[in-house]
Chains A and B, each alone.
Chain A
Amino acid sequence: MKNIIEIENLRFSYPADEGETPAEVLKGINLEIKEGEFMAVLGHNGSGKSTLAKHINGILLPTSGTVTVDGISTSDEEKIFDLRRCAGMVFQNPDNQIVSSVVEEDVAFALENLGVPYEEMRKRVDDALKDVNMYDYRHHSPAQLSGGQKQRIAIAGIIAMKPKCIILDEPTAMLDPQGRKEVMAVIKRMNREYGITIVLITHYMDEAAQCSRVVVMDKGSVILDDTPRVVFSHVEQVKAIGLDVPQVTELAWELRKAGYDIPQDIITEDECAEAVKRLFERE
C-alpha cells in the first residue's frame, strides 16, 4: 500500500507576542500513513494532537517540515481546494459545523461550492445520507437532531465530496454513549467499505482499541506508534502521561504484576474473560 499522508519533520509554533519566544507545539513529527489505514491519535489536552490534525488538511501550515497528502503539499496554496476535497475534517462540537436549516442542504453545501451539477449532487447527497443512516431525516431541521445525529450529518457532508481520507478531531467527545456508538459504527464502515483512510483523534481508549494503529503524543512528540495491542501493553508509560488504558488491559497488567501468568496484550473483553477463566481452570 502506498502512503496517503506523509509528515516529515513537522514543527509548528503559534505566533508569539512581542518580546516572547514562541512555544513549540509540534516538535519534529514524522509519520507515514498508508492508504486505507484506520489510525487513532491519543494524547492529553495540550499534547499537540489537534494541532497535528489541523495540519493534515491545511488549516494550519508547518513552521518547518512538510505535510503531503496524496502527493499534494499542504503548503501549496494553489492546490488547497484539491487538498480539502481529498482530506475532509470533522470537528468536536456538532453545533459548530452545521450551516443550513435543512439536513440535505447542509450535506450539499460543499458540493454547491464546488459547482457539482444538480443530478450528480442529488445522488451524492442521498448516497451520503444513506451511508450514515440519516436519509430518513433529510428534510428535518438539524436543530431537532441529537448530537450523534448531527455528527453523522457532518460526516455525510464530507463523504459527499468523496474524500480519500477523513480526519476526525474528537468527534464523540460531546456525545452520549449511544451517540458515540453510532458515530464509531459509521466511521468504521467508511473505512471498511470504501477504504477511506481514517485519522481519529480521541481520548477514549475503547475507541482507540478498535483502530488498526495507535499513535500516542506527548508534549508535541510521538512517543508510541504501533498496534493498539502493543501500545496499551505499555501500561505504566501510558498512565504516566495522563492517559488511561482499557480496563481489561489494566486488570491483566495488575494480575501479571502479582505474578500470575496472563498475557500482557489483552484489549478486548472476550480475551480478558478467557484469560481469567484459564487462571481459574488451572490445576
Chain B
Amino acid sequence: MAILETQELTYVYSEGSPFQKTAVDNVNLKIDEGEMVGVMGHTGSGKSTLIQHFNGLLKPTSGKVLLDGEDIWADKKKIRDVRFKVGLVFQYPEYQIFEETVYKDIAYGPRNMGLDEAEIKRRILETAHDLGLKEELLERSPFELSGGQKRRVAIAGVMAMNPRVLILDEPTAGLDPAGRDKILGHIKEYHKRTKNTILIVSHSMEDIAGFADKILVMNKAKLFCYDETEKVFARAEEISQIGLDVPQITRVFMKLKEQGLDFGKDVYTMEYAKKLLLKKLSERGGV
C-alpha cells in the first residue's frame, strides 16, 4: 500500500519572472508504507524541492501529492495535519534548537499536536532512548551538548511526533565516520521499532547501501529512477555519469570488468566484496 504518492508533480520557481526555473518536472512516484528509502541527486537536481512537497511546505505548481491516498491539498485547512503525519528534519537541524532544556525542545512538536503531558513524556523517553540520549541529559540545556548530541536532540523532536513518514535531509553531514555510523544506527533502531516509512537524503552511496531498501534518484528536475537498492546500484556507471558518487569499491569492480575480470554481480558494499572475492578465490584453490 502506497503511503506517499505523487502524480505528475511539477514545481516551478518564480513563475513568470526572468528567474523562472522548473525544479521538479512531472514526477510520478509511489512509496510503500514501512520502506526505508535513500534519496540521491546532486545539488540542484530538485531533490530538496521534491521532499518539501511531501509535507506540504511547497504546493505543487501542477500535479498532486497523495498521502494515504488523499490529495494533501484537497482541503487547505488540513495541511497542518499533514505536517504531523510527515515529519521533515532539515539539514543541520541543530541550528533550530531553541528551548532551555533538552526535554522541552523534544516536547515542542508533540505539545503542538495537543497531546497530554503523560503521552508527551512517554514519547520523549522513547525517542531519547532510540537516539542514545541518556535520561540525565534531558534536564540539561541543549546548548551545553556536543554537536552530535544536539543533532540527535533535534531529530528526536521530530521523531517524538511519531510521523508516519519521517524525512531526514542529510542527517550525517559534517560528522566524522564514528558519528555518522552512530546516527544511521539510531535511525535504523527507530525504524525497527516503529515500522514508519523513512526517507533519508544522502550524497554517500556507501551510507545508502547500508540502510536503504529502495533508492530514489533525482536528476535535472526529473525522476531518474526509483527502484530496489540492488537494481539502482547495478546502474553504477550511469549514476556516476550524472555526477553522483559511486562507492570506491564499486569503481574497483567496474575497472576489473573493463579489464576482463567479470564477477557477474554488482558490488557496492565492503562486506559483499570481501565475501565474493574470498569465495571466488577459494573456488580456484584458495591460498
Q: Which residues of A contact B (CB under 8 A)?
A: 44-46, 92, 146-147, 170, 173-174, 176-179, 203, 206, 242-244, 246-248, 250-251, 254-255, 258-260, 269-270, 272-273, 276-277, 279-280, 282
Residue contact B274 to A277, C-beta cutoff 8 Å? no
Q: In the bound complex, do residue B287 and residue A258 qualify as a contact, i.e. CB atoms below 8 Å apart?
A: yes
Per-position binary interface string of chain B over residues 14-58, scored 1 when its CB falls under 8 Å from any chain A CB and 0 otherwise: 000000000000000000000000000011100000000000000
Q: Does B112 contact A (CB under 8 A)?
A: no
B147, CB-defined interface residue at 8 Å: yes
Distance in angstroms between the alpha carbons of A254 and B277 in the assembled complex: 10
Give 20 new A-B contacts, CB below 8 A, not counting A178-B43, A247-B252: A44-B179, A45-B146, A45-B147, A45-B148, A45-B175, A177-B243, A203-B176, A206-B248, A242-B177, A242-B178, A243-B178, A248-B248, A248-B249, A251-B249, A254-B270, A260-B287, A269-B255, A270-B255, A273-B259, A277-B256
Q: Which residues on B sit within 8 Å (CB–CB) of A247?
A: 206, 247-249, 252, 270, 273
A277 to B256: give the CA distance in the assembly, Å: 7
A-B contact count (CB 8 A): 98
- Asked if A178 and B42 sit within 8 Å, CB to CB, the answer is yes
Q: Give the CA-CA distance A246 to B286 in the complex, in Å.
A: 25
Residues A251 and B43 in contact, CB atoms below 8 Å apart: no
Give the chain A neighbours of B278 by CB distance below 8 A.
255, 258
Q: Pick the contact of A273: B247, B252, B286 (CB < 8 A).
A: B252
- Measured between alpha carbons, how far is A272 from B274 in the docked complex, in Å? 13
- Taken together as a complex, chains A and B put the C-alpha atoms of A256 and B178 apart, in Å, by 25
On chain B, the residues within 8 Å of A280 by CB distance are: 261, 280-281, 284
Q: Is B131 an interface residue (CB 8 A)?
A: no
B203 interface contact, C-beta 8 A: yes
**Cα distance A16–B174 when bound, in Å?**
27
B188 proximal to A (CB < 8 A): no
Contact at B256–A273, with CB atoms within 8 Å?
yes
When distances are taken between beta carbons in the complex, the residues of chain B under 8 Å from A177 are 42, 203, 243-245
- With A176-B43, A270-B255, A280-B284 already in contact, the answer to whether A255 and B277 are too (CB < 8 A) is yes
A92 to B245, CA, bound (A): 21
Give which listed residue, B176, B178, B244, B252, contacts A269 with CB less than 8 A.
B252
Q: Which residues of A contact B251 (CB under 8 A)?
A: 269
Would A276 and B287 count as touching, CB distance under 8 A? Answer: no
Q: What 1/0 mask marks residues of chain B from 226 to 245 whose CB sits below 8 Å from any chain A CB? A: 00000000000000000111
- B173 in contact (CB, < 8 A): yes
A251 touches B176 (CB 8 A): no
Chain A nearest CB from B272 CB (Å) reads 11
Instruction: State A244–B243 Cα separation when bound (angstroms).
Output: 24
Contact at B281–A279, with CB atoms within 8 Å? yes
Residues 250-287 of B at the A interface (beta carbon under 8 Å): 251-252, 255-256, 259, 261, 270, 273-274, 277-278, 280-281, 284, 286-287
Which of B245, B248, B277 lies at the interface centre, i.e. has the most chain A CB atoms within 10 A of its CB? Answer: B248
CB contacts (< 8 Å) of B274 on chain A: these are 251, 254-255
- Residue in A174, A177, A259 whose Cβ sees the most chain B Cβ within 10 Å: A177
| Chain A residues within an 8 Å CB radius of B252 | 247-248, 251, 269, 272-273, 276
Kindly state the separation between the CA atoms of A269 and B245 in the bound complex, as whole angstroms.
14
Query: What CA separation (Å) do A170 and B173 show in the bound complex?
Result: 12
* Interchain CA distance A254-B279 in the complex, whole Å: 13
14 A-B contacts (beta carbon < 8 Å): A45-B175, A45-B179, A177-B244, A178-B42, A203-B175, A206-B248, A242-B178, A243-B178, A250-B270, A251-B277, A272-B252, A273-B255, A276-B256, A277-B259
Provide the residues of chain A in CB contact with B249, threshold 8 Å: 247-248, 251
B243 contacts across to A, CB distance below 8 A: 177-178
